[in-house]
Amino acid sequence: MDIDRRDFLKLLGVGSAVLVLGQGGRAGALDATGGKDDFMFVQMSDSHWGFSNPLINPDATGTLKKAIAAVNSMNVQPDFIVFTGDITHTTDDPKERRKRMSEARDIISGLKVKDIRFLAGEHDAGLDNGEAFQEYFGKTHYTFDYKGVHFIVLDNVSDPTSSITDPQLQWLDGELKKLDKDSRIIVLTHRPLFNLYPSWDWWTRDGAKAIDLLTPYKNVTVLYGHIHQENHHMTGSIPHHAAKGLMFPRPAPGSVPKPVPIPWDASAPYKGLGYRSVASMSTMTDYVITEYPVQKG
Amino acid sequence: MTNSKRFVVPIVLSMVLVLAGLAAAADQSGTPQVIKITAKRFEYNPNVIKIKTGVPVIFEFTSLDRVHGFTVPDLGGIRQTIEPGKVNRITILAPKAGTYEFRCDLFCGEGHEGMTGKIIVED
């Protein structure tokens, strides 16, 4: 990224909420790389392409496109983009499921940034164990590295019991064993790994096993979707950050009897919908998380 | 009080005692009450179930369409898979009075999040 770090942060912060969240640690240390390992990515989540209810979102076919246009117009283009699940809205019809995935993929291809990492949500993968998702978006669990940060994508939706399952946990254990305990690790997943609100299915049945595997590592951050709102939570030294959705917001955990979508507010269109950027600087173990609302127009 | 009313009161009282005795006998025999519950997208029937504290009750599930789940997170996370074409049973023993939410924990489609119910446990 050919940009001065001070400008980089300034550009990220324009007109939006900026949070520096993480474990602390190396902040302020001298950076031997001169900032060349700084990078930024965008997290988009829960676009539910195919959802249709004008009382919930009268711009169901336009919201994702607005968000993509907004990302394309960011002053600093992200190095890559992650979609943390529920790209499409569920349907019983396998043919319709594939149609929605094809349409969503075409729309997403309108992003200027072409390095895009996809995760499945239960709406994408919960009715066919991820079969259609893999046809259109690839593997459901994998790793990648970017400028000193190790990314681990966990699938806690393809198994209908909201589980990671033992084979994937064994794979995670094997991946982690390759890393030093002070490696910088970002875990991307759809559901919360911790028990945010199990009565609403806002959990991962065997998520505690994944957290136990991650806990010995000093610099782990978890980013997820599923709950259609921001949420920030710590398990030990691991921060977990939920992202807003791109179709409808959901109520705060336990605030109402059921986690049904919040109806559209005509006085505040797109309220509760948004995406975020996550900036990584080689001098910090924390990440600068900047929230962006979807805006009318 | 008329003669008939004087006669009715002891009969009613004795019926209550007989029923209570039968209930006690049922408990002593170790045969728990069975409550039949059907599951289908995206509801249980019944979805409000009353049981007594400390008395084991068998929930007997049948699915009318596809695989569903049943879990009560606040009752030790007990759960049962409800498979179509089978009768699926689970024994519930609630140690404390209160209202416990149950829900489907196997993703079953668009209304999955709303497939819930309540167990009301009374002393």
Secondary structure class of A36 (helix, strand, coil): coil
Give B73's contacts in chain A (Cβ within 8 Å).
198-199
Least CB–CB distance from A122: residue in B101, B107, B114: B107
- B78–chain A Cβ distance below 8 A for any pair: no
Q: How far off is chain B from A205, nearest CA to CA, in Å?
A: 10
Least CB–CB distance from B109: residue in A92, A157, A201: A92
Binding-face residues of A in 15-74 toward B, CB within 8 A: none
Of A149, A185, A199, the closest CA to residue A38 belongs to: A149
Q: How far off is chain B from A9, nearest CA to CA, in Å?
A: 39
Establish, for the pair of chains A and B, how many residue pairs have beta carbons separated by less than 8 Å: 42
Tell me which H or E stretch contains A134.
helix A131-137
**Whole-angstrom distance, CA of residue B32 vs CA of residue A73:** 65
Q: Which domain holds residue A278?
A: 5-9+40-293
- B76–chain A Cβ distance below 8 A for any pair: no
Residue A255 counted as domain residue: yes
Residue A239 counted as domain residue: yes
Give A157's contacts in chain B (Cβ within 8 Å).
107
> Best mutation site among A201, A204, A250 for testing chain B: the one with the most B CBs within 10 Å?
A201
pLDDT in tens, B18-28: 333 333 334 55
Measure Cα distances from A37 to A21, A74, A219 in Å.
19, 20, 17
β partners of residue A285: none
Residue A78 and residue A43 in contact, taking contact as beta carbons nearer than 8 Å:
no
Residue A35 counted as domain residue: no
| B94 CA to centre of own chain | 11
Q: Which amino acid belongs to residue A24?
A: G
Contacts with B38 (C-beta within 8 Å, 6 or more apart), sequence order: B44, B45, B61, B62, B63, B64
CATH number of residue A218's parent domain: 3.60.21.10
- pLDDT tens digits in sequence order for chain A, 297 residues long: 444 555 555 555 544 455 555 444 443 333 455 577 899 999 999 999 999 999 999 999 999 999 999 999 999 999 999 999 999 999 999 999 999 999 999 999 999 999 999 999 999 999 999 999 999 999 999 999 999 999 999 999 999 889 999 999 999 999 999 999 999 999 999 999 999 998 888 999 999 999 999 999 999 999 999 999 999 999 999 999 999 999 999 999 999 988 999 999 999 999 999 999 999 987 777 899 999 999 987
Total domain count, chain A: 1
Note if the pTM is more than 0.90.
no
Q: How far off is chain B from A149, nearest CA to CA, in Å?
A: 33
**Whole-angstrom distance, CA of residue B23 vs CA of residue B52:** 12
Give A259's contacts in chain B (Cβ within 8 Å).
113
In terms of CA atoms, which chain B residue is nearest residue A89?
Answer: B110
> Best mutation site among B113, B115, B118, B119 for testing chain A: the one with the most A CBs within 10 Å?
B113
According to CATH, what is the number of the domain B32-122? 2.60.40.420
pLDDT in tens, A162-186: 999 999 999 999 999 999 999 999 9
